[in-house]
Amino acid sequence: TQQRLTVLLTEFAAEARQRLDHALGQLPRTAHHPLGSAFALAMVKDALLSEIAADGFRVLNQRTGLPPLRKLWISWRSHRRSRRARGLSPRR
């Protein structure tokens, strides 16, 4: 059952990434800042999906998560990208 689940989750992960890429491709880069928290959450979820995929989708046997500092880093990085996209200089 683990092998079939891995195949199924691999397909779901590919579709999720495709949908996220498509959704982000439809947004103008200047829209990332007004949608800041949603954009940051999407980036955190994408990183979590990457971790689960790197673990081989062993979701039945173990729990996979991101450490809080990495979540903060991803959120901060997405915020900086959105400010750059709007032409705003980073705050100092």
Model confidence at 92: pLDDT above 70: no
The model's pTM: 0.78
Instruction: Render 53-70 in DSSP notation, one character per residue.
Output: HHTTS-TTT------HHH
**CA-closest candidate to residue 82, choices 34, 48, 22:** 34
Q: Are 83 and 52 in contact (CB under 8 A)?
A: no
Report pLDDT digits (tens) over 18-29.
998 898 888 776
Model confidence at 83: pLDDT above 80: no
